[in-house]
Amino acid sequence: MDIFEYADELEFGELHFQVDPDIDLRAVVAIHSLERGPAIGGCRFIEYDSTDEAARDVMRLAQGMTYKAALSKLPHGGAKSVLIKPSDHELSDEQRESMLRTFGQFIDDLDGQYITAEDSGTSVEDMNIIHEETDHVLGYGTEQGGSGDPSPYTAVGIRRGIEAAAQYVYGCDELDGLTVAIQGVGHVGYHLAKELHERDAELIVADVDREAVGQCVEEFGAEAVAPEAIFDIDCDVFSPCALGAILNDETIPRLTCDIVAGSANNQLGASRHDAMLRDHGITYAPDYLINAGGLIYVAAFYAGHDTDRASQQIEAIYETLLEIFERADTESRPTGRVTNQIAEERLEAI
């Protein structure tokens, strides 16, 4: 399937590419939908094997952002962007800054259709630089009048999702004594570990970043395992909080958990893996529902609302997820397909 056929399959809106060979910049902005309002979505700065791989990744992520905004009833469409990180050399601070500034100008040229924010490989400091070039950015530092890091709000939504899944599976949403295996303890994963530790959950963590793992071991008493071993851990909840497509033909049979609930986007390797989880007796909390906390927070900031309103919406993830579990049971369908249908119904109702 070529890139235009893929765009048709995802019912896409716009793709924008930027190249600047002088600073080794290759950027893609995917705007999936503007039907509900200007599109919000983070900017990734990671390595890809090819431009085609980057484009497909950002397109699928953008569609997920459209569904996420629709499920959360936000007045926004969905988009994502990627800066393709060079794999053949280390970036100097000066080159990284030049890339971010040029990218900020690129965003500004889109005239408010796309509002960027941090994502895998980017930080509040990166958003500060982009903000110097455009107003169409969220997640920059509070010292600049911005919203700051949305990761703690994303983590609260994930924790509420885990509580809802525990209520559905075990009949109790208390996390005391539950074992949660977290794959990836970066921005969101760390804050999720903190949320779970405060509620007396037992934590097992894995990440390629040994320092991040060590911090969770020291602060939360977590058990550390090798990144590849995390799929084989005997646990109650498996929480993917790294990159996507990690639930697939190879990994799902290895899982011994009752629940999958994490922050990573596009966790399913393919749509059929939703049914595969169900067949294995695993309750799946669809990622773009339970990881919407960060989007809800920055959207509230963009609209000038206070954080109390955002917190109420994030708390509502619990009830929404319980409704999806019940509907999936009633209809004998995977939770992901039910969630997709609800999002699509809300988009069609515009």
Domain ranges of the chain: 3-67+76-144, 151-291+319-348
3-67+76-144 maps to CATH 3.40.50.10860: yes
Beta strands in the chain (DSSP E): 14-20, 25-31, 39-46, 77-84, 114-118, 179-183, 202-206, 223-224, 237-240, 259-260, 283-284
pLDDT at res. 340: 92
Give the span between the Cα atoms of 37 and 318, in whole angstroms.
25
What's the CATH number of domain 151-291+319-348, 3.40.980.10, 3.10.129.10, 3.40.50.720, 3.40.50.10490? 3.40.50.720
- Is there a shared CATH topology between the 3-67+76-144 domain and the 151-291+319-348 domain? yes
Q: Catalytic site residues?
A: 80
27 closest CA partner among 93, 101, 89, 77? 101
pLDDT at 90: 86
Longest dimension (CA), the chain: 59
Q: For residue 200, what is the DSSP state?
A: T
pLDDT for position 309 = 87
Identity of the amino acid at 238: F
CA nearest neighbour of 201 among 228, 235, 224: 235
Regarding pTM above 0.75, the answer is: yes
Check residue 350 and give its pLDDT. Answer: 65
How many whole angstroms separate alpha carbon 291 and alpha carbon 311? 13
Q: For position 155, what pLDDT does the model report?
A: 97
**Mean pLDDT in runs of 10 for the chain (350 residues)?**
87 93 95 95 94 93 94 94 90 95 97 94 95 95 87 96 98 96 96 98 97 97 97 97 92 97 93 95 96 94 88 94 96 95 85
